[in-house]
Structure formats: structure tokens, C-alpha cells
Amino acid sequence: MDRLLEFTKNGIYCSQARVFIDPWHPADRAIITHAHSDHARVGSKFYLAHKKTVPVLKYRLGNDINAEGIEYNSPTLINGVRISLHPAGHIPGSAQVRLEYKGEVAVVSGDYKLEYDGFTEAFEPVKCNTFVTESTFGLPVYKWKSQDEIFNEINNWWKRNKDNGIASVLCGYSLGKAQRILFNVDNSIGKIFGHGAVTAINEIMINEGAVLPKILKADSSVNKKDFEGSLIIAPPSAVGSSWLNKFGQYSIGFASGWMNIRGFKRRQSLDAGFALSDHADWTGLNEAVKETGAEKIFVTHGYTSVFVKWLKENGYDAEELYSKFESKYEGNEE
Amino acid sequence: MKHFADFYGALDSTNSSNDKIEIIKEYFSKAADDDKVWTLYLFSGGKIKKKFNTTQLREWAVEFANIPEWLFEESYNTVGDLAETISLILPESENLSDKTLTYWINFIEDINKIKEENRKDKIIEAWKSLNQKEIFVFNKLITGGFRVGVSQKTIVNALSGLENIEKNVIAHRLMGNRHPAKISYKELLSGENVKDEISKPYPFFLAFPLGNGPGELGNPEEWQAEWKWDGIRGQLIYRKGELFIWSRGEELVTEKFPEFEFVKNFLPDDIVFDGEIMCYADSSPLPFNLLQTRIGRKNITPKIMKEAPVIFMIYDVLEFEGKDIRTLALEERRKKISDIRTLILDSGFLKISDEIKFSDWEELKDIREKSREYLTEGIMLKRKNSAYQTGRKKGDWWKWKVDPFTIDAVMIYAQKGHGRRADLFTDYTFAVWDGDKLVSFTKAYSGLTDNEIKEVDTFVKRNTLEKFGPVRTVKPELVFEIAFEGIAESNRHKSGVALRFPRMLRWRKDKKIEDADSLESLKKLLKK
């Protein structure tokens, strides 16, 4: 077991600072890497996160939570442990947590991606002795195309649907993925609407200074005719739901790293799948691990055993971490 | 190939038949003629000959991708499709070429001609010049796993619209397995060569399942009832002194049944029968799995012919004295069969599926209850004035199957599925009680809803006792009602029985494992 970090039934714990990182159950003090539901849980007495994360945290966990927001790269001392947040590139405000005590440095990655998406703060490699990495896409079958290529596919799909007079419903996580899509898609093609879960997050982000096109909520106040040829950004739960009925004829797509695999796409009876992910692909995971220069790697969230075995074969001291949240295509890419 | 790979991808990502028709039209309006012929060949299940196996392909891919073998296996277990896994792990190509589908098929066929030690280099050369989607299709072609979710009907509709030819004419011209190298697109569609095509079968007319019984079919006098025989649907064609046997899978299977050659001595020339190929002896059908063992064999020896004797059970006649009589009423077609009844029966290898006499639906219902005694699957109902149509159509032909056997069983092993069920535990092994032990007796894959599959998947992950490669032993806890169509003795299975078409009828959440059935009660069904 590492000196700085312990791995408990409630997740990753630093006993020196007496803080949990993304704890699974209520804790006295929690540092939150980002506000997705498998990382930010309700009930802790105190939350510390990036300042962009705090408003979303309050929106999702309740306005009455006791939460403090800090900037990236601005260390704070907790019981002698120097703690700082660094951009993880996953969603706006997402952070890697760096902990330093008596010359020993540990970094907990949370979720991350290496490619800059134009909207989210770019991932920053952080040198450390111990690195805790995610492995959501820790298999060599996951290698992403560039964002430009994927958005080309999305734009072409939308254009084709528009030419056919039907709506395009594009599903992706309402926090992060939805805004990345909205920011990068070619909005000259047509009108864009959002599911309420998406527009709520948009507003929070715009309040925090994000530059996002203003879009209307796709509800009953919209004239049905206006949906024809439009793009509607929706959360994954929209797939197969009756909420879709209001759009008349539509094509339904899904933006997620899982869409790299044909079977996952076919299983959900989607019309289109776009392998647009906010996680590192196989190449990215390997590059990130290498960049940290860490002697010890802990692997969590995803293909943990595979990635550990691979790292060991490549000369790393690697170990598997149990995660309460087995990351899975239909549930949590968040 | 890029055009073809994109076309394949587009078809793959839509479930709407109308979309598929549009996509096919679009492709056929742009593709080169030789590519079109190959496409039609592949879409109707035609294969490309190749002389290397999937084990070799795996090895070559692992070597070229420079990853350890176990990592390839892990990847394959997740993706659930070999061709796709290889396409995803290979390094991205730097020198993309854009050759046609026909070019690559010739390329594959040429590999067969070169020395074995040089084949690897040729395959890698191909992988190096194709993009991921193309490699996927290429791999599907070389593994013989090329399949596409497009029915013959959809293709016929698309081509009929595009080429302005009537649907049934197109359907007929597309049947048969002419090698694309031997025919042009024009010849294929013009039907100029149909005269030479003496082996050509007619598209099959398929019955619809009769869900609610025959009550709504009206007057029983308008209907002909027959047994639903349990074999392989086929066509027996005798033209210009030659005999051909086609299976419903549109496969020419003449060589599997050499004994049918004998019927040439009895039949009038230029005749086509629709019927059922089945094993039969002493005026009774034999179990289906006997026929299955025979189909699996490459060489049909006298020993097999003796152990698995076959007959062709005639349902219908489609061509008589060289004339296509499919539009005549069923009654009239059946009359033509009875006119030559003696000839047919004298051949020894032909039988006629006789009409079941009944006066009302209630009586027929009682007769249907006896289906199993006669080793049949139930009853067929055909409207007496119906034409022989194409494909599966509602209205004139119905199949009224007997209810399946059912048994409550405990799930004891689970394995991940393939295709759209990749990375989910969907393939299960079931057991029944033999004393105080659970003994496995069947596997089943189908019957659960997507939500139930997810639930079972979670159960398997949380309740794994042991892992053997891809198979997990799970805590015996879940009980399912297994339905099946038939049961036979088998020494291949621990339980001593083999089931026909087993599937999960329902998840019995209300039952505990103690409530599952016993091997004894399963074996009782053997006698039925």
C-alpha cells in the first residue's frame, strides 16, 4: 500500500490529509475530480473541486451542500499535504488531483482525455511517483479518429437528414459531451434544440463564462414544424423513449467511445454511431502513463485487469484497484 | 472497395427497409458492373474460395499489430467478431489505395494459387492498403463470414425499382448460384441465359405463423390441411434429363442426396416440386438430427445412406411439362400431382404430403394435438385457391405449430455473446436435477428481452464462481423455463439427451432452484 494514498471500501483516501477523492459514500471531506454521477456522490459534509465544477455539483447534489471551488494549479495545504488540481481534459472543470507530502507525489487522474476538444481545458501531464489512472477504454480496439473527422461525420449525417426533411437526434451525456457537440458542430446547417437536461447544464456553463450558442429547449412550446431538419441534442436516456415522438420523423445517433464497436451500436438500434469520446483511447492511456514518469501505477474504472497486465509486461509496477462503478457502455461513460 | 465498404456500413446502421432500398439503389446506380454482380452474389450468400484459416489470420494480425496474443484474445472477447477485432487493432494504413471490390476478390482468389509461405505477405499487403472499414469487409470476405442484414426481398424491391423490371422476374433471375466471373450484370438481369439455366429454382413461398388458431380463417372448406413435416424445405427440379435439389437456403444440395437420381426413371420431364427433404423409414419420419448428421458430411458414403435414409415429401408442383404453373390455384396444382401419383410413389424416394381430412376447426384442433405422435411439427393450412407466391406473405399459407415442450432449468454457466450482444453474458448453459446434483443438458441463447439480458449480465458478473477461459461458472440461483421443439437421445451430452431448437421461454423469478425439473422428467419426454 502506498504511503500517501489508501484504497478503502469508500474509495481512494489520503489519511494524512483526511480526505477522500471521489468517495462512493458520504465522507467528512471529499475532493471531487468532476461532477459525473459515478464520481460525485451525495451526502459528504464538505466538497472541494474546481470552481467550474461547484455550480454543477450544487445543481446535481443540492444547493445546500458545503462546497469550495478552487483554480487549477493553485495549491492548498491540508494538514501538511499540498493539494492542487490540474486539467484532465475530460469535461470543463474536470481535474486530476495532485497530492504532495514530504517529497512524495501522487496524482489521481479521475477521467481524462488527451486530445484538445476546443471547449474543455487541455489535459496537462503531471509528473508524480504514484499515478492512479482510469481505463474505460483500455483495449487496443479503442483508437479514436481525430475530432475533426468525427465532426465531419456528424455534420454530414445532419445535412443528409435535413435534405430528407427529418430531424437529427444526437444523444450524448448531458454534462460535457452535449456541450462539446454544441460547441463544435457546424451550426450553420440548421436549428439546434436541446433536451431540458442539456439546456440546464448549458445555462450553468454559460453563467461560468463558457461560449456556447444559445439553444431552445425541445419542449411542447416549439412548433412541431421547426424540428424538421433540426439537430436535437439529448441525453442517452432518450434512446427508445416516448420523448422522441414529438419529433415526427427522425434519425437517432449516439456520440460515445463505445460506438467504435459495431455490436454496441447495433444493440441499441441506432441509426448512427459516432465514436466521440471524452476518455483517453488506448494510445492516450499509454501516453499519459508514460508522461507522468510514475514508478507505481494503479488502474481503476474499466478494463482494469487487462491494462494492469499490459503495463506489467511493459515494465511498470502496476496494480488493479477495485471500483464500485464498473464502467459500461449503456450505463456510465460519464 | 471504399464505395462497397461505405455501402455495407450504411446498410448495417439502419433498420428501416425503405432506407435499405434507397441505399441499395444508390449503390447500384454508381457501382461498376462487375462489382454489382459480385455484390448480388455475396448478398445471396455466395462465398469466396480461400485456402487459409482463421487461426492463421489471427497469428498474422497479432504479429502485424505487434501486440501479445492474450491482448488480442481480450479484445476479441469484447468485440465479439473476429474480422472486426482485426480491423480495429491493426495500425492505421499509410498508403491507402482505392481498388474495386472485384479487384480485391480476385486478389483473394489469387492468393490460393501461390505458395503457402507467401500468403501472409499478400494478406498484410492488403491490410496495409485499406482503411479500417475496408479491412473489416475484406476480413469478412476472407473468413467466409460475410453476411448482411438485407433480405432477398429488399434487394428485389430495390433492383426492380432501379432497373424497371417486375419483382417476380427479378427474383427468379437472381436465384441460383452462378459464379460472378461467368456472367455480366446485363446478362444476369436480362435473363437471356435463363434457357441454359436448367437448374434454376423458383423463389420459395413461405407460410406465416398462425398465432391465434384458425378461427379467423373462415370456412374450413376453403382450406387444405397437411402435416408440417420436420425436415429441410427444398425443391426437386427435373429438366432436360438432369436432376437438381435445392434447399431453402438457396443452396444446391444435389450431391448430398445421390439416391434421388433414381427418381429420374419415373418422372415426366420438365417438372419442379416443392417439398421437404427428410429422413424416413418404415412409413414413418425419423428424427431431424439424423438428417443433420448427413448434411454435415462432405462425402455421402453408402453407410450414411443406409443409416440416414431420405425421401422427398412433395407439397406442391411449380412447373409441369416445362410450364410455370405457380399462378394456378393450389387445388389445380395438387390435381396434377395426383394425376401422376402412381409414378411418384413407385419411385420409392418420393412421397406426397397428403391432405388431412377434417370437417371443422375443432376436429382439426384435436388432430393437431397428435402432431408429435406422427413426428411432425404441427399443421399447415393452405387456401385451396391460392397461387404459389414469393417469400413470406400473410394470408394464404399458415403454419400452425404445436406448443413446444417446456422444462424449468437452472443456469449454471454463462459465456459472452457475439455481434450485437458482444461483451454481454448472453449464452447460457442450463441444468436439471439428477438426484442432488445439477447436470447440464442444453445451452440457450435467445428469448430474453434486452433488459433481462442486462440484468442477467450483472448477475453473472457478481456471482461468478470460476472462470474457464471465456466461460464462467455462476452460482446456481436463476431458474428459466426452457422451450424446445424436440428431444432425442444423445451420447454427446452428459445428460444423455439433445434438444431441438432450445430457447428461453421466460425467466421464472418466482421459482427457486429446488423447483427446477429433474433429469427423469426430462427423459420422460423422450417417449412422447
For residue range B262-274, what is the model confidence (pLDDT) as tens digits?
999 999 999 999 9
Q: Which residue bears the cell 399462378?
A: B327
Of B12, B68, B450, the CB nearest to A313: B68
CA distance A223 to chain B (A): 27
pLDDT of residue B292: 81
CA distance A290 to chain B (A): 18
In this structure, what C-alpha cell is assigned to residue A145?
479518429
- Is pLDDT of B414 > 80? yes
DSSP letter assigned to residue B422: B
Cβ separation of A270 and B13 shorter than 8 Å?
Answer: yes
pLDDT of residue A331: 37
Q: Rounded to whole angstroms, how far apart are CA atoms B177 and B180?
A: 9
Q: Which of B263, B242, B156, B153 is nearest to B200 (CA)?
A: B242
Cβ separation of A141 and B421 shorter than 8 Å?
Answer: no
Count CB-CB contacts under 10 A for residue B142. Answer: 23
* Amino acid at the residue B366: D
Secondary structure (H, E, C), B351-401 = EECCCCCCCCHHHHHHHHCCCCCCCEEEEEEEECCCCCCCEECCCCEEEEE
Largest Cα span, chain A = 65
Of A139, A273, A329, the CB nearest to B74: A139
- pLDDT-derived band at B197 (thresholds 50, 70, 90) equals low
pLDDT of residue A114: 97
In this structure, what C-alpha cell is assigned to residue B64?
502485424
Cβ separation of A139 and B75 shorter than 8 Å?
Answer: yes
Number of Cβ pairs < 8 A linking chain A and chain B? 69
Tell me which of A199-208, B160-169, B310-319, B341-350 is least confident.
Answer: B160-169
> Chain A partners of B79 at a C-beta cutoff of 8 Å?
141, 261-263
Question: Which stretches of B202-321 are assigned E, i.e. beta strand?
Answer: 205-206, 208-209, 223-229, 232-239, 242-247, 251-252, 271-281, 284-285, 310-320
- pLDDT-derived band at B133 (thresholds 50, 70, 90) equals very high
> Chain A partners of B15 at a C-beta cutoff of 8 Å?
269, 271
Q: Rounded to whole angstroms, how far apart are CA atoms A272 and A160?
A: 12
Residue of B6, B12, B79, B146 for testing the chain A interface, max A β-carbons within 10 Å = B79
pLDDT of residue A329: 38
Low-confidence ranges of chain A (pLDDT < 50): 1-2, 326-334
> What mean pLDDT do residues B35-63 have?
87
- Is pLDDT of B519 > 50? yes
Largest Cα span, chain B = 74
Tell me which of B188-202, B286-300, B387-401, B407-421 is least confident.
Answer: B188-202
3-state secondary structure of B199: coil
pLDDT of residue B146: 84
> What mean pLDDT do residues B467-474 have?
83
Burial of A203 (0-12, 13-18, 19+ CB in 10 A): middle
Calculate what percentage of chain B has a pLDDT beyond 70: 96
> What mean pLDDT do residues B311-340 have?
96
Q: Rounded to whole angstroms, how far apart are CA atoms B368 and B210?
A: 13
Of A267, A271, A303, the CB nearest to B420: A267
Tell me which of A96-100, B296-300, B510-514 is least confident.
Answer: B296-300
Contact A10, A27 (CB under 8 A): yes
Contact A327, A321 (CB under 8 A): no
Q: Rounded to whole angstroms, how far apart are CA atoms B23 and B6?
A: 10
DSSP letter assigned to residue B28: H
Contact B45, B185 (CB under 8 A): no
Helix (H) or strand (E) holding B406: strand B405-416
Q: Is A326 an interface residue toward B (CB < 8 Å)?
A: yes
A150 or B293: which carries more pLDDT confidence?
A: A150
Contact B60, B211 (CB under 8 A): no
- For residue B36, what are the contacts with CB-CB under 8 A and spacing of at least 6? B28, B185
Burial of B103 (0-12, 13-18, 19+ CB in 10 A): middle
DSSP letter assigned to residue B423: T
Burial of B118 (0-12, 13-18, 19+ CB in 10 A): exposed
Q: Rounded to whole angstroms, how far apart are CA atoms B428 and B478?
A: 11
- Is pLDDT of B296 > 60? yes
Contact A67, A44 (CB under 8 A): no
> What mean pLDDT do residues B41-58 have?
83
Of B13, B71, B81, the CB nearest to A140: B71
User: Which chain A residue has its CA at the smallest distance from B449's CA?
Assistant: A267
Of A262, A273, A330, the CB nearest to B84: A262
* Amino acid at the residue A72: Y
Count CB-CB contacts under 10 A for residue A98. Answer: 19
**Phi and psi angles of residue B466, each rounded to the nearest 5 degrees, phi first:** -150, 155
Q: Rounded to whole angstroms, how far apart are CA atoms A255 and A174?
A: 11
User: Degrees (nearest 5) of the Cα angle B223, B225, B226?
Assistant: 150
Please report the sign of the dihedral spanned by the C-alpha atoms of residue B166, residue B170, residue B171, residue B172. Answer: positive
pLDDT of residue A334: 42
B486 or A160: which carries more pLDDT confidence?
A: A160
- For residue A46, what are the contacts with CB-CB under 8 A and spacing of at least 6? A28, A29, A30, A66, A67, A68
**Total number of residues shown for chain B:** 528
Both ends of chain A: CA-CA distance in Å? 28
Q: Whole-number mean pLDDT of chain B?
A: 89
Helix (H) or strand (E) holding B182: none
Give the sheet arrangement for strand A81-87, strand by strand: A76-78, A81-87, A95-101, A104-108, A130-135, A296-302, A317-320
3-state secondary structure of B25: helix
**Total number of residues shown for chain A:** 334
Bridge partners (DSSP) of residue B472 are B414, B467
pLDDT of residue B195: 44
* Amino acid at the residue A191: K
At CB < 8 Å, which residues of chain B contact A?
Answer: 12-15, 65, 67-68, 70-71, 74-75, 78-81, 84-85, 88-89, 92, 418-424, 450, 454, 461
**Phi and psi angles of residue B102, each rounded to the nearest 5 degrees, phi first:** -60, -40
Secondary structure (H, E, C), chain A = CCCCCEEECCEEEECCCCEEECCCCCCCEEECCCCCCCCCCCCCCEEEEECCHHHHHHHHHCCCCCEEEECCCCCEEECCEEEEEEECCCCCCCEEEEEEECCEEEEECCCCCCCCCCCCCCCCCCCCCEEEEEECCCCCCCCCCCHHHHHHHHHHHHHHHHHCCCEEEEECCCCCHHHHHHHHCCCCCCCEEECHHHHHHHHHHHHCCCCCCCCEECCCCCCHHHHCCCEEEECHHHCCCHHHHHHCCEEEEEECHHHHCHHHHHHCCCCEEECCCCCCCHHHHHHHHHHHCCCEEEEEEECHHHHHHHHHHCCCEEEECCCCCCCCCCCCCC
Contact A23, A8 (CB under 8 A): no
Contact B234, B415 (CB under 8 A): no
pLDDT of residue B288: 83
Q: Rounded to whole angstroms, how far apart are CA atoms B497 and B499?
A: 7
Radius of gyration (Cα) for chain A, nearest Å?
Answer: 20
